[in-house]
Structure 1
């Protein structure tokens, strides 16, 4: 089993913000975190409409302008930030792929195991 990867501290991401992570170092985020109503959610950076299509139009730009929904900027699809359910767009009814994470007692957000590419 892989060692847990520390992503950031839980207090580094404010409510209504998102942050992408490029653990492979290839210039494209493999997944992103969203903080919504005080809870953290991690999603694979891939729109279900087109397999593997990245969601953000620029680094960390995963949310709608009002910060209330995750948005695929290529297809205009909108997703609930806590469930990953597509509520508008070409993949309506489908879900983003959840990435497992946990927050340790020191407030560090950890990923186990690392997401597959």
Structure 2
């Protein structure tokens, strides 16, 4: 699998939307790698394209201070539009929350809950990921 950082977008990009399954055994055999953990800056957000439930999706990955990675679909629950203001470019509030570029909804990055704006109380749609051997992979450890 080839990985690169597209510096104009600030995003980690895989070599295709449907990369081959990750080699391995047991629970991790069918997990698809979508990014390298070290390509996501601590506290940072990146956009990746991946196949989720059989459909190509834009995903937001967030790496927190403890190196845990969370993923959400790059769709605002308010109007169904992408959250980035340009591909892979996200607005952040002073408190670190993610801000929708269209209507200004703010999302905390622990659980993707909307804390301000037109969809207050709603959540971003989470996508299950796991971190294994320096990679972010789709799915959960028992999904294999």
Task: Judge same fold: TM > 0.5, yes or no.
Answer: yes
Give the Cα–Cα distance (whole angstroms) in 2 for the partners of residues 20 and 73 of structure 1.
14
Unaligned stretches of 5+ residues in structure 2: 1-20, 22-29
Q: Is the 8 A contact 1:69 1:80 kept in 2?
A: yes
Unaligned stretches of 5+ residues in structure 1: none
Scaled by the length of structure 1, the TM-score of the pair is 0.79
Structure possessing the higher radius of gyration over alpha carbons: 2
Task: After TM superposition, list the pairs within 5 Å mapping 1:1-117 onto structure 2.
Answer: 3-23=30-50, 30-38=58-66, 39-50=68-79, 52-64=80-92, 66=94, 68-104=96-132, 106-112=133-139
- Name the structure with the higher strand share: 2
Q: Is the 8 A contact 1:16 1:67 kept in 2?
A: no
Scaled by the length of structure 2, the TM-score of the pair is 0.66
SS at match of 1:8: strand
Q: Which protein has greater RCO, CA pairs closer than 8 Å, 6+ apart?
A: 1
